[in-house]
């Protein structure tokens, strides 16, 4: 391959990459607001599932305060915990009696049919109205003990922070 041919190929490849990058940037800018809106809607849907009686959720620095009739009824925050094949983003709520009000797995890339079962009501409803979470209090997901352990660890980890928020109330 001659030097001129190599320069021409490099120029064409650079031009194609610039055009592709520009189009990708334009597509991102065109959809960024809608993506953020959908993510916030998904988050609030899950907040409402953890505290269905709440009228509103006040966003603080890294947590939410569940409010009913202008009174605080609990706190909600997220934790990221390593699972079997991904990191799990877990939303956990605690009422003012230091009971876990509920939890939801917001994001994961666990094995479909196994670890992905953590998003199903049969699994996550076990966490509600408990003060202590352990392997003895939760039925593990069949063939997905690493994911189950990860969720338990994450819920217990963030429960300490939520308890301190309740105590400071």
**pLDDT per residue as tens, the chain (169 positions):** 688 888 999 999 999 999 999 999 999 999 999 999 999 899 999 999 999 999 999 998 889 999 999 999 999 999 898 888 888 889 999 999 999 999 998 887 776 767 677 777 888 888 888 888 877 777 777 766 788 788 888 888 888 888 888 777 6
Q: CA gyration radius for the chain?
A: 22
b/e sequence 28-62, b meaning 16+ C-beta within 10 Å:
eeeeeeeeeeeeeeebeebbebbbeebeebeeeee
Give pTM, 2 decimals: 0.77
According to the model, what pLDDT value does residue 115 have? 65
| Secondary structure of residue 115 in the 3-state scheme | helix
Extended beta strands in 23-160, E state: 56-59, 64-68, 71-82, 87-95, 100-107
Return the closest-CA partner of residue 122 out of 107, 134, 105. Answer: 105
According to the model, what pLDDT value does residue 126 have? 86
Return the closest-CA partner of residue 76 out of 159, 167, 169. Answer: 159
């Amino acid at each position: 391959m001659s030097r001129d041919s190599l320069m021409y190929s490099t120029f064409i490849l650079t031009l194609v990459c610039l055009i592709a990058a520009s189009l990708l940037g334009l597509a991102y800018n065109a959809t960024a607001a809608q993506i953020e809106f959908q993510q916030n809607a998904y988050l609030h849907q899950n907040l409402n599932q953890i505290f269905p009686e709440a009228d509103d959720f006040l966003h603080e620095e890294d947590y939410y305060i569940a409010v009913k009739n202008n009174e605080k009824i609990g706190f909600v925050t997220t934790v990221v915990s390593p699972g079997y094949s991904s990191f799990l983003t877990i939303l956990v709520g605690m009422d003012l009696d230091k009971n876990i009000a509920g939890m939801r797995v917001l994001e994961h890339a666990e094995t479909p049919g196994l670890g992905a079962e953590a998003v199903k009501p049969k699994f996550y409803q076990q966490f509600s109205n408990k003060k202590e979470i352990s392997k003895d209090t939760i039925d593990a997901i069949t063939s997905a003990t690493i994911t189950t352990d990860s969720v338990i660890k994450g819920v217990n980890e963030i429960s300490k922070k939520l308890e301190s928020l309740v105590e400071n109330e």
